[in-house]
Amino acid sequence: MSALVTQVGVLHNALVPSLGVHAALSLGTYAIARVARRVELKDWLWPSGLVINAWYQALRPAIYSDRPVGLVLKSLPWTQQLLLGGVTVWGTRLFYRIVSRSLRRGTDDPRYEAVRNDSSWWNTALFSVFGMEAIAQALIGLSWGIPISNPIGARTTSIVTPPSAQIASVVHDVAVGLFAAGLAMETLADYQLESHKQNSSSSALQRSGVWSIVRHPNYLGDALVHASFPLLAYAASSLNVYSLIGPAANYLFLRLVGGDKENEASQEQRYRESNPSKLRQLEEWRGEKNSFWPGLKELGNVWVWGLVALGGAGVGVERYLKTLSPMP
């Protein structure tokens, strides 16, 4: 019974403040988006809100006491520092990508054209869209919010621990490598897509580079990044059961709400109306490549092994950074 109470306490300590942060951010973003008639501002909030909340969780001891910020950050164990740094790097890169693309386009995302001037949609969107995304963000952030906000509580309530220090070290390296490979996949997918748009005919789909692995490498890379967070916690004996909600919620969001299905549905509609050639290519591509998870034949894809190498490089960088840290 006491273990259950402790588990609930750890969840409450991370989830309730997160809900407050994301609700406030979503409310402010909704107000600005409605005035500006730019639905895509909610997309700006997705990565930035998660980074803001991660730092809020880390700095709560400084916010609600007189402890210096520097001391609070230095007192975080190495795994918690990695989680905070990883979320910050991931979110900052994605925020830059979304905002820079939006500013270049100058108008709202084409996916939102049908609703941005619809007053009835805006009247319900605060709760049905912005509010639901705030809840999703709070749940996704649990995978790092629990160990960052309460390192001791996360260790106390860990549901499973590595059987040996050697296995813990291997799992730690796998988690770092998974994060590095996923981040590299996201970054390369965005870069290659932009380069393709600038340098080739508008009648051709981008299907080379990491886009030769799956049809949505940016979403797969994002899922790999989020899967790395509970693995890091497990390696540090800090895997709270609620931390598993984060990657699961993110995966479901990518697959069922705002990810590959929504993206391809929007593509199909636009291509059917204005570019039959691209529609035929999309239909062919669906027969050749999986949408999200690679098929076994991709083991022969050089880009897969390139990402594995980048993951290994990430492990090397993390080991070097750890030598510079005062934490044991």
Residue 151's pLDDT is 79
Residue 10's pLDDT is 63
Instruction: Give SS3 for 65.
Output: coil
Residue 13's pLDDT is 75
For residue 1, pLDDT over 50 is answered with no
- Quote the percentage of the chain above a pLDDT of 70: 94
Residue 14's pLDDT is 77
Of the candidates 309, 321, 100, 44, the one whose C-alpha atom is nearest the C-alpha of residue 184 is 309
CA dihedral (35, 38, 39, 40) positive or negative: negative
Residue 57: half-sphere exposure toward Cβ, Cα within 13 Å:
37
Of the candidates 319, 327, 321, 294, the one whose C-alpha atom is nearest the C-alpha of residue 308 is 294
Q: Hey, what are 251's tokens?
A: 């995966």
What distance in Å separates the CA atoms of residue 328 and residue 323, rounded to the nearest whole number?
Answer: 9
What distance in Å separates the CA atoms of residue 20 and residue 289, rounded to the nearest whole number?
Answer: 41
- The pLDDT tens digits for 258-307 are 677 777 777 777 787 777 888 888 888 888 889 899 999 999 999 999 99
277, amino acid identity: S
Buried b (16+ CB within 10 A) or exposed e, 297-319: eeeeeebbebbeebbeebbeebe
Q: What is the mean pLDDT of residues 92-118?
A: 88
- The pLDDT tens digits for 55-96 are 999 998 888 888 899 888 888 999 999 999 999 999 999 999
pLDDT band of residue 5 (cuts 50, 70, 90) is: very low
How big is the chain, counted in residues? 328
Of the candidates 139, 146, 84, 176, the one whose C-alpha atom is nearest the C-alpha of residue 250 is 139
Buried b (16+ CB within 10 A) or exposed e, 49-69: bbbbbbebbbbbbeeeeeeee
- The pLDDT tens digits for 205-242 are 888 999 999 999 999 999 999 999 999 999 999 888 88
Residue 7's pLDDT is 57
Mean per-residue pLDDT of the chain: 88
Q: Hey, what are 320's tokens?
A: 């070097």
